[in-house]
Amino acid sequence: MNKLNGKVAVVTGASKGIGASIAEHLAAEGASVVVNYASSRAGADGVVARIIKKGGKAIAVQGDVSRPEDIQRLFSETKKAYGKLDVLVNNAGVYEFAPLEAITLEHIQKQFNLNVAGLLLTTQEAVKLIGPEGGSIINIGSIVGPMPAPQASTYSASKAAVDAITVSLSMELGPRKIRVNSLNPGMVETEGLRASGLHEGEFREQQDRETPLGRIAQPEDIALAATFLAGDDARWITGQVIVAAGGKRM
């Protein structure tokens, strides 16, 4: 029995990587999924096609969730297609590492506008579609939120903010039966990691050695945890910051 039958889920930044895997796993459990993307229409259409091929339901909706007008359109399209919302996965994000002397206002604003302001404004619109039966909000953070990394002060700060938002909103939205949790991955083998070249060589080998489970994550590892948090099996879990990094510590 699919555990998300009858549920509607929005996954932001779902054209590739972790977001795409989450969208596909939610659909496999019976959810009707809105695959949000900012620029990669082809990627989003590919995710939708894979879901439909396996008998699932999905649509792709463009929207840069650092822009309030795009957020409003995202949920307008969600309401038009499905009439409600049960699950929001705030996955869209951006990262840039820089030493202190290289940090600029633009560097700060770029990350906080999407990782923090965008997440809050997306959640603000999402809860308007969640009915009295409640729902689940899953914020994709990062291991560098609770465990900051060098030359990542801005990114670490933005992801620490995500964890603070999670705890605050879990208390605020709890009376409405809306659960809010953070899921914080460590290194994940995504398209972005492969494009950077860090998926192989000495650095990759070091990460594998330093992870107690012996490897870095695949997108599916994070998607499985997100799918659990989306469903009723996690009905008593809210306000939690869950580090999904194979036991890795910074």
Of residues 189, 13, 187, the one with CA closest to residue 94? 13
Residue 217, beta-bridge partner list: 188
Q: Are residues 89 and 51 in contact, defined by beta-carbon separation less than 8 angstroms?
A: no
Determine the Cα angle at 166 with ends 72 and 161, to 5°: 90
Helix (H) or strand (E) holding 59: strand 57-62
Give the CA angle between residues 86, 61, 23 to the nearest 5°.
50
CA distances from 250 to 166, 221, 245 (A): 22, 19, 10
Do 138 and 183 contact (CB within 8 A), yes or no? yes
Q: Which of 233, 28, 19 is nearest to 140 (CA)?
A: 19
CB atoms near residue 81 (< 10 Å): 14
> Annotated catalytic, 155?
yes
Q: Are 182 and 162 in contact (CB under 8 A)?
A: yes
Distances in whole angstroms, Cα of residue 11 to Cα of each of 36, 72, 98, 193, 210: 6, 15, 28, 21, 31
The residue annotated as part of the active site, out of 37, 82, 95, 155, is 155
Alpha carbon of 192 to those of 55, 175, 189: distances in Å? 29, 39, 8
Active site members = 155
